[in-house]
Homo-oligomer: A and B are copies of this chain.
Amino acid sequence: MPVYTCTTVQETLGADTKAELAAEITRVHSMINHVPGTYVNVVFHELAPENAYTDGLPAHPLLINGWVRTGHPAAQSSQLVAEVAAAATRVTGIPAKRVLVVIQNSPAHFAIEGGRVLPEPGEEQAWLHEQQGAD
């Protein structure tokens, strides 16, 4: 269901670090938002050095943009963004001051996966059960 898009300058993160960060974001999201890891997507965009700026100057930020369904409890969303940000620094070694994590959302019924409209937050179990019945 969610998609996390991580953007850095090329060669900021090695292949092993990207795999580890993807695994850790997946673990954190799955635990907090009650979604099986099989539904968590993480992608990386790696930019040429001339394609990333902070304060109008070439820079090396780690930008993580997550999309989630609207309607998770506020405390849950706060925990999610905090744990993703903590994981980013823990896994990559990039200091927190260069890490920006933003969570965006839209209604579950504006998204389709596996040919089915996504469940509202809190209704994942019925949706997953129905999916398994269809497999």
Contacts and interface: CB of A to CB of B under 8 A. Distances in A.
Given A37-B56, A50-B19, A67 B104 contact: yes
Given A38-B55, A56-B19, A67-B104, A78 B109 contact: yes
A55 B67 contact: no
B114 A110 contact: no
A1 to B, nearest CB: 8
Nearest to A106: B104
Given A65-B3, A113-B100, A55 B40 contact: yes
Contact of A56 (B1, B22, B50, B58): B22
16 contacts: A3-B63, A37-B55, A38-B55, A39-B55, A41-B63, A43-B52, A82-B112, A99-B113, A100-B111, A100-B112, A100-B113, A102-B111, A103-B106, A103-B110, A104-B104, A104-B110
